[in-house]
Amino acid sequence: MTNLAAAAEYPASSSFLLRPDAVFDGKEMHTGWAVLVRGDKIEAAGPSTTIAVPNETRTITLAAETLIPGLIEGHSHLFLHPYNETSWNDQVTNESLSFRTAEATAHARATLLAGFTTVRDLGTEGAGYGDVGLKKAINQGIIPGPRMIAVTRAIVATGSYGPKLSTDLDLPQGGQEASGIDEIVRAAREQIGKGADWVKLYADYRWGAGEPSRPTFSLEELAAAVKAAHDAGRPVAAHATTAEGMRRAILAGVDTVEHGDEGTPEVFRLMKQHNVAFCPTVAATDAITQYRGWKKGTDPEPERIKQKQASMKAARAAGVKFAMGGDVGVFAHGDNAREMELLVHEYGFSALEVLRQATSGNAEIFHLTDRGNIRQGQLADLVAVAGDPTQDISAVRQVRLVVKDGVIYRQP
Ligand SMILES: [Zn+2]
């Protein structure tokens, strides 16, 4: 990987030593540790007395700061911006691909500078294969941004997804439509051929405005798409909010279920049994409910929030594995910490649990063996935050240093 353009703006340092107050290594906190970066890798991490530091190595002292692995956003849409600025429909129908790409470029930068060095970007929502180009530009150092897992267009059942305006208009759709085993398999393979790292399937959706979500694809269709994706070495994420959509996705063999708002104890037990991870996107639920008029802190909790609380409780009781992902794009890019804060303050997780989810946990669920931990040999994706995020999760907003691929993108 080259960093030609980035090198001018963000000078690379081939070797430097980081000396923070504490190190969260992806699993536990340590004091008295130092971390040596060499090239794009972590050369050594451990008690500072045990690290052999080459002569003339630059030392960066991070007083009163905690060094953590670069955070991993589990559910983003870099091609969307908050729905209270522009509705999803209007973004898909009125905003051109060039405009959306320019926005995505700014979103990528904001994400990286907020300490999120990897995103699983779950669909361009009408912006075609824009994510593949964005990822390439980031990887070539043309623009700053996180490492991207791209899913391209995502796959929706014919007729189920929007925008839905006049029946006479042939509008750009928010996903690639498919029906039947041949079409869904072809769609998965087309997307993989164009650069999808994961495949995303919509297992349920609202068939009409104002309707509740209902299943879209049959179990057979979902299973065929999952098989095609897995044959190609691509994991599968399923959008599912209904219990039946979740059940079909799980039985079809998907790797993660997104949202799960109406998940029942039975369906979460099935999820656990099939080792499917759950990405709850509580921040999206919180944001959308507020966009619809909920005055948080004043009004009583709406049904939608109560239901989310109940489903999360059921998921925890069943012992499912949680991915940390907020559906950022529904709310502002760079505000990714919103999901982490809500999980701690409103959903009963400890700060340590959520930090693990956002680092080593997501790395494991997303099969990213080269990151998510601070240890020798891992990619040099590192973030320093003021304070102790294992005590106060909001410390992850106090970003002081961002290193990705051994390149310093932000420093005091
Ligand atoms: Zn989403």
- What is 291-330 written as a DSSP string? HTT--TTTSPPPHHHHHHHHHHHHHHHHTPPBP----BTS
Backbone angles phi, psi at 243, to 5 degrees: -60, -40
Q: Half-sphere exposure of residue 285, counting CA atoms within 13 Å on the CB side?
A: 27
Query: Per this entry, what is the length of the chain?
Result: 412
Q: How far does residue 122's CA lie from ligand 1's centre (Å)?
A: 6
Q: How far does residue 77's CA lie from ligand 1's centre (Å)?
A: 6
Q: How far does residue 140's CA lie from ligand 1's centre (Å)?
A: 26
Task: Please state, in angstroms and rounded to a whole number, the distance separating the CA atoms of residues 186 and 75.
Answer: 25
Residues 129, 175, single domain; the answer is: yes
What's the pLDDT at 5?
42
Residues 22, 64, single domain; the answer is: yes
Q: How far does residue 405's CA lie from ligand 1's centre (Å)?
A: 27
Task: Please state, in angstroms and rounded to a whole number, the distance separating the CA atoms of residues 140 and 132.
Answer: 12
Is the overall model pTM greater than 0.85, yes or no? yes
Q: Rounded mean pLDDT of the chain? A: 95
DSSP 158: T
Q: How far does residue 327's CA lie from ligand 1's centre (Å)?
A: 5
Task: Output the domain CATH number for residue 197.
Answer: 3.20.20.140
Helix spans in 140-195 (H): 180-194
Written as one letter, the residue type at 294 is: W
Residues 16, 76, single domain; the answer is: no
Residues 276, 333, single domain; the answer is: yes
Q: What's the domain count of the chain?
A: 2
Q: How far does residue 176's CA lie from ligand 1's centre (Å)?
A: 15
Task: Please state, in angstroms and rounded to a whole number, the distance separating the CA atoms of residues 156 and 202.
Answer: 5
Q: How far does residue 328's CA lie from ligand 1's centre (Å)?
A: 8
Written as one letter, the residue type at 369 is: T
Last residue of a domain, one of 365, 381, 397: 365
CB atoms within 10 A of CB 80: 28
Residues 300, 406, single domain; the answer is: no
Which residues sit with Cβ closer than 5 angstroms to ligand 1, an ion?
Answer: 122, 327
Residues 58, 185, single domain; the answer is: no
DSSP 211: P
Is residue 406 within 8 Å of 40, Cβ to Cβ?
Answer: yes
Residues 86, 51, single domain; the answer is: no
DSSP symbols for 66-131? EEEEPEEEEEE-TT---TTTS-HHHHHHHS-HHHHHHHHHHHHHHHHHTTEEEEEE---SSSTTHH
Residues 124, 170, single domain; the answer is: yes
Is residue 207 within 8 Å of 170, Cβ to Cβ?
Answer: no
Residues 79, 227, single domain; the answer is: yes
What's the pLDDT at 1?
41
Give pLDDT < 70 ranges for the chain: 1-13
Task: Output the domain CATH number for residue 14.
Answer: 2.30.40.10
Q: How far does residue 182's CA lie from ligand 1's centre (Å)?
A: 25
What's the pLDDT at 13?
55
Task: Please state, in angstroms and rounded to a whole number, the distance separating the CA atoms of residues 411 and 43.
Answer: 20
Q: How far does residue 130's CA lie from ligand 1's centre (Å)?
A: 16
What's the pLDDT at 43?
97
Collapsed DSSP state (helix, strand, coil) of residue 290: helix
Q: How far does residue 48's CA lie from ligand 1's centre (Å)?
A: 42
Residue 26's domain comprises 4-70+372-410
Residues 319, 385, single domain; the answer is: no
Tracing tokens 């180009």 back to the chain, one arrives at: 133
Residues 283, 195, single domain; the answer is: yes
Is residue 244 within 8 Å of 204, Cβ to Cβ?
Answer: yes
Q: How far does residue 76's CA lie from ligand 1's centre (Å)?
A: 6
Backbone angles phi, psi at 180, to 5 degrees: 85, 160
Residues 95, 8, single domain; the answer is: no
Q: How far does residue 106's CA lie from ligand 1's centre (Å)?
A: 19
Backbone angles phi, psi at 89, to 5 degrees: -55, -50
What's the pLDDT at 12?
56
